[in-house]
Structure 1
Amino acid sequence: MSTTSIPAPDHSPRLRAALLAADFTADGLLELLGAPAYAALARSETVPALRATRGDTPLATLVRLFLLQRPVPRERAEAALPLDVALADGWVVADGTGDSGAVRATVDVRPYGGPEGQDWFIVSDLGCSVGGAAGASGHEEGVVLGVGGASTTLAGLTVRTPVGSALDVGTGSGIQALHAAQHATRVTATDLNPRALGFTRLTLALSGAPAADLREGSLFAPVGEETYDLIVSNPPFVISPGARLTYRDGGMGGDDLCRTLVQQTGDHLNAGGYAHFLANWQHVEGEEWQDRLRSWVPRGCDAWIVQREVQDVTQYAELWLRDSGDHRSDPAAYAARYDAWLDEFEARGTKAVGFGWISLRKSGAAEPSIVIEEWPHSVEQPLGESVRAHFERQDYLRARDDAALLADHFVLASEVVQEQVGLPGAEDPEHVVLRQNRGMRRATKVDTVGAGFAGVCDGSLSAGRILDAIARLMGEDPVLLRDRTPRSIRLLVEEGFLEPATGVGAGSGTGTAGGTEPGAAG
C-alpha cells in the first residue's frame, strides 16, 4: 500500500482514451482473464490473473500495471499509454533507469461497469482494491480504499430518479458521487480525508463524468445548512476502541457516528428527498435493537431499515483485526488489540453488532412509516426501484382507511408465484406460499382466503367484491370476512405482493443502479 502524492487530473481525457482503446474495461478484463481468474480476484488471489497477462498486448500491460500493480517494461507501457503524460501527471513513475527501465503505477485504477454500460474507472490507493476481500491490510491513516462489496451494495440501493442536487458524505474514492452524477444536476462530495477528495476528482475525471463540488470536513459540517434531494453515505461505521484508521473508524464512541449521521440527515433533505446509508449498530443488553434504530429516525422522515447480518463481539473484532492486517502482527500486540475491543464492548454492554441498510424519505407525514426488519436472505440487486416502490406504497396505505382499501382494485405483482406445500398425494396443501422472484425475494404464507384473493386480483374487481365472492364460495358471513381481511391485504401491499391497479407503488424490483467490477461482492 502507498499513500504517495495524488496524480494530477490534467490529462485525464487522453488517459481515458488510451484505456478504452486497449479495452481496459470490465468486459475486456473478463474476456482476457477468463471467468476463473476474474473470480479469483474477488478472493484477493492474483496468480491466475498474472498467468493470463503474460502476453505483451496493451490490455495485458494495463492489467499488470494498474490492477495487479506490477512493474512493466517501459516500452510496453509506451505502447499502452501516452507515457509522457502519465509520468508528468504522476499516474506512473520510473522504476529503473534509462529507456530500458520499467515503470510502476502510483495508484490503483480499476475498471467499473456503469448501470447503462458506461465504462468507468475507480481510482484509489495501491493495495486497497485487489479483490476487495482483504481490506486495507495496513495502518496508514490517510489511505483511500477502492470499490468493494459495500460500495456496490449502496449504489444498488439508491433510488435513481432525476434530482437537482445530491450529496455524497464521506465520498472516499468517489463511486457514489460517480453514480449520482448520472442523474443529479449538481453533486457535492465531502470527506474528512483531503486525499479522498483528490481521488474522487480523479475517479470522476477518468470516467468522463462532470466534476463535483468537493468539500473537506466531517459529516454535514462542510455544507452548513444546505439541503439536497438525495443524500448517500458509506460512512466509516466500524465500532472500535479508538479511531486508528480514518477509512473505517469514525472517531466517535460505539455507533454514535452512524446515529449522528442519520439523525442530522433530516435537516438536509428536501421534501420528497431520499437518503441511503450503510451502517453498523450495537445490540445492547436490555434493549431491543429495533428500538435503538427507531430512535435514530429524524422527524418528518419515513424509514426502511434492514438488518442484513449480526455478529457476536468476538466475530466482529476478528473481522476488523484481519481487515487491518493486525492478525499478521506480533502475537502479543494482536492479543492486546483483541482484548481492547472486548473491553470496549463490555463497557458498553454490547453483546453483538448488526450491519445493514438505512433508507429515509422526507415525507413530512404526521405519522411517519418506520419499517425495521431483519432480512439475511438473498436479494436481487439493484434494489433502488424496490426502495422507491416501498415508500410509495407507504404513502398509499397511509392515505386509506379500511373502507377505502376495500373499494380499491389490486393486481398481483408480476414476479409473484404461488407454491403449495404439503405431503405428496394429499388432497389439499398444508399451506400456500406466495413468493417473489425479484427484488427482496420475499415469501409469505397465506390462508385459503389470502390465496384465493391474490389469485383473482387482476384489477377488474374491487377488493370488497372479491371478498364477497369468496364468502359465498366458502359459506362465510361476508361482513365478518370484510372486517378481518383488510389487515392481511395491507401486509400484502406493504411487502409488494399486491399492487394498486392505479400503479401507485408498482415497482418491479428492476433498476439502473448497479455496477460491475472485478472483486466486488454483491
Structure 2
Amino acid sequence: MPDAPRSDDPALIAHLHADLVAAAFTVDGVTDLVGEQAMSAWSRDQAVPARRALQRRSRELGSASGRAGDAHESEPCHTEVSHDPAGHNDAALITLAAFFLLGDPVSAAALDAALPSVGARGLERLGLVEAGTSTELRSAVDLRPYATDSSAELYVASDLGAFQRPGVLRHDHVLGIGGASLTLVQSTPRRPVDTALDLGTGCGIQTFHLLAHARHVTATDISDRALATARFNLILNAEALDVDPWDLSARVSLERGSLLEPVVGRRFDMVVSNPPFVITPRSPQEHAEDRFTYRDGGLPGDRLVRELLGALPSVLNPGATAHLLANWEIPRDPHEEPSATWSRGPSSWVPQGTGVWIVQRELQDPCEYAETWLRDASQQRDVADYERAYAAYLDDFDSRDVAAVGFGMVWLYRPQESDAQDTAPRIFETIPHAIQQPIAPALAAEWDRVLSMASDEASDEARDAHDPGATSDTVPAWLARHYTVAQDVTEERHGTPGAPDPALILLRQGAGLRRSVILSSEAAGFAGVCDGELSAGQILTALGSLLEWQDGPAPQLLREIKRLITHGFLVEV
C-alpha cells in the first residue's frame, strides 16, 4: 500500500522490534529521558518541552565526548551525539524519540547506530522514512511505545499528527492513540470471548486489547492505509499479542468495507467501535476523497450513529455486548433544555428488546462542536478555509434546528434466549464529572447487577401472575439478600445550624462512576443499618415498626434502595 508501513517482511520487522527494545524505547525510558512534564505536554500534542529536553541531553552527551551539539532550542533536534559505550543507550533513545515522536530530521548515521539490525535502509524498506536529503531523514510515521492494561508493552505506528507536520491533515489520515481511543479502551470490559469485531480499526489499537481476551478478532476499516498500518502493527507486536506473523489470519482477519458491510450475516460475542461519528456539513460538490475518513462517515447529521445503533444488534450473539463512542444531535425544544431531552434520539434508534446503557459525558453547543473538529484537523492553519468551514457547520446545524450535540459511551446488549421478554434494561444518564479509569470493571459490575435485578423482578412478576395468593407469603428476591455499604462510599449531611434534622443527606462514591445520590431520611436509615447481618427485608420490617408504617414501605423508598444496590452503593454479602 503506497504511503503506508509495509509488512511483507516479518523478519525485518522483528529486527526492528528487537532494536527498539534494546534502545529502551519504552514509555518509562522516554519519560525518564525527557521528564514527566514534557511527557504530559507531548500527550497534549505540545512538542516544545520534549524537544528542549532532548537537546539538553544531547548536548550533555556531546560534551562528555568532546563533541557538543550547538542546535538552537527553537529548532528541531538534528541529533548528532557520540555513540560511545557509556552513552550508547541514551544516544539511541534520543535519536528514536526525536525521529519517531517529534518528527524531527535525523541523520542516517544516527539511525544506523540507534537501530543496528535495521538501520536507515531497513526503515526505508519498511516504508517508515520520507524522502529526505542525502544526510538527513524524516520519519513517515509516528511510532510510539504504548503501555497496555496488561503486562505487555507495544509499539504503535500511525500517521504523524498536526504537531509533528505542518499543514492540514491528509484526508486518509490514520489516527494514532488519542483521547477517544483510550476512552474506548478504558470502557470496554475484558471478559473472555470467542469472537470479537473491531469496527473501524484504524491503527488497530482496539484489536490489540481484544486479542488479550478474544480467540479471534475481525478488524474492519474503509481505509486501505488504515488496514495496512494495523497489519504492520500486528506483526511488529506479534509476540506480545500472541499472533503468528506468518499466519495472522489464525487470530485476526483484516477486512475492508464500510461499517457492517464486511460482516453481513455474521455474529460476534463482542463488538467495539470508535466509528467515524463526527457530524460534518455535507455539500453537493463534495467527493469521497475530500473527507477525513478517520472521523467522517459521509452521512448527514448523526445519521451514521443512528443507523449503526439500529443495526449492531443484528451482529451480536445472544448474551453479547457492543461498546462504542458516539455523537448525537439534540433538536431544539421550546420548553426544555438539551440536557433534559438528549436521550430522545438515541432511545428511539436502539431496537426494542435490546439492552442499552448510554452515558452522556459531554454536551456542546454548535459553535463549540465546530471549533473542536476544525482544530482536530488543523484547519485553523488556513484562515480563509477555517472561516468557510465554520460557517458551513453553523448553517448545517441551523438546517436541522440543532440546539446541542451530545457525546458519550454506548453499551448495547443482546439478551440471552433464556431471558424473560421485555426485561432488557434501557438506561440513559449524564455523568459529566471525572470518573475512575479504567472504568470498564465498574461498568461491567454494574451491568451485571442491573441484569440480576431485572431478572429477579421478572421472576417475581411471573410468580405473582401464576399464583396471586403467594404474594402475601413471599417477598422479592432482592429483599431476601444481605447487603453492606461499599468501602468507597461516604455520607454527607447538610443542614441549617441548630436544626434538629439535616435538610439534605448525600451518599458519594469514591470509585467507579463516582455518583452522588440524594437520599430520603428513610433510605439513609436503611443504608446506615446495612452491615450484612440482617437481610434487606428484615431491615425494612424493623424500620416499619420504628416509623409505624401502616401499609409497608412506600414504592419510592423501594426504588431508592434498588438504585443503591444496582449503582453499587450497597453490595451483596
**TM-score, length basis structure 1:** 0.89
Output the CA distance in 1 between the equivalents of 2:125 and 2:388.
45
Output the CA distance in 2 between the equivalents of 1:23 and 1:13.
16
* Equivalent of 1:344 in 374, 379, 396: 396
Asked whether 1:177 is paired with 2:207, we answer yes
CA contact (8 A) 2:277 2:305 kept: yes
Letter in 2 for 1:241: P
Partner of 2:355, secondary structure, is: strand
Asked whether 1:8 is paired with 2:7, we answer yes
The equivalent of 2:350 in structure 1 is: 297
Q: Deviations over 1:352-388 (max 9, x none)?
A: 1111111112114522211001111110111111221
Output the CA distance in 1 between the equivalents of 2:320 and 2:167.
37
Distance 1:470 1:357, change over 3 A: same
Partner of 1:247, secondary structure, is: coil
Output the CA distance in 2 between the equivalents of 1:448 and 1:254.
46
How far 1:255 moved relative to its partner? 0.5
* Equivalent of 1:393 in 439, 442, 449: 449
Output the CA distance in 1 between the equivalents of 2:146 and 2:46.
19
TM alignment of 1:235-254, pairs within 5 A: 235-242=275-282, 244-254=291-301
Distance 1:8 1:475, change over 3 A: closer
How far 1:484 moved relative to its partner? 5.1
The equivalent of 1:375 in structure 2 is: 431
Question: Structure 1 unaligned runs (5+)?
Answer: 502-522
Output the CA distance in 2 between the equivalents of 1:457 and 1:71.
64
Asked whether 1:481 is paired with 2:482, we answer no
Asked whether 1:326 is paired with 2:384, we answer no
Asked whether 1:39 is paired with 2:40, we answer yes
Output the CA distance in 2 between the equivalents of 1:72 and 1:191.
33
CA contact (8 A) 2:161 2:169 kept: no
Distance 1:137 1:291, change over 3 A: farther
Output the CA distance in 2 between the equivalents of 1:194 and 1:260.
23
* Equivalent of 1:357 in 392, 399, 409: 409
Letter in 2 for 1:433: L
How far 1:94 moved relative to its partner? 6.1
Of all paired residues, the percent bearing the same amino acid is: 41
CA contact (8 A) 1:112 1:120 kept: yes
The equivalent of 1:223 in structure 2 is: 263
Q: Deviations over 1:244-270 (max 9, x none)?
A: 211111101110111111211101011
How far 1:53 moved relative to its partner? 1.5
Asked whether 1:200 is paired with 2:230, we answer yes
Output the CA distance in 2 between the equivalents of 1:181 and 1:117.
13
Output the CA distance in 2 between the equivalents of 1:389 and 1:191.
31
Letter in 2 for 1:113: A
Letter in 2 for 1:147: I
Asked whether 1:442 is paired with 2:441, we answer no
Output the CA distance in 2 between the equivalents of 1:316 and 1:60.
38
Distance 1:272 1:104, change over 3 A: same
How far 1:21 moved relative to its partner? 1.3
Output the CA distance in 1 between the equivalents of 2:92 and 2:152.
21
| Structure with higher RCO (Cα < 8 A, 6+ apart) | 1
CA contact (8 A) 2:280 2:393 kept: yes
How far 1:350 moved relative to its partner? 1.2
Distance 1:206 1:464, change over 3 A: same
Output the CA distance in 2 between the equivalents of 1:424 and 1:29.
55
Distance 1:403 1:43, change over 3 A: closer
Letter in 2 for 1:493: I
Output the CA distance in 2 between the equivalents of 1:249 and 1:446.
44
* Equivalent of 1:461 in 534, 544, 564: 534
How far 1:338 moved relative to its partner? 1.9
How far 1:483 moved relative to its partner? 5.5
Partner of 1:429, secondary structure, is: coil
Output the CA distance in 1 between the equivalents of 2:554 and 2:352.
35
Letter in 1 for 2:431: W
Question: Structure 2 unaligned runs (5+)?
Answer: 59-80, 82-90, 283-287, 458-474
CA contact (8 A) 2:544 2:552 kept: no
The equivalent of 2:74 in structure 1 is: none
* Equivalent of 1:72 in 95, 106, 120: 106
CA contact (8 A) 2:4 2:229 kept: no
How far 1:423 moved relative to its partner? 4.6
Q: Deviations over 1:81-113 (max 9, x none)?
A: 12143232222356332xxx2332121101111
Q: Deviations over 1:6-62 (max 9, x none)?
A: 333522221111111111111111111101111111232212111221324111111
* Equivalent of 2:312 in 260, 265, 286: 265
Which structure 1 residue ranges, 4+ long, deviate > 4 Å from structure 2?
423-428
TM alignment of 1:111-130, pairs within 5 A: 111-127=145-161
Identify, as 1 or 2, the structure richer in helix: 2
How far 1:467 moved relative to its partner? 1.6
How far 1:447 moved relative to its partner? 2.5
Output the CA distance in 2 between the equivalents of 1:166 and 1:73.
43
How far 1:465 moved relative to its partner? 0.7
> Of the two, which has the highest radius of gyration?
2
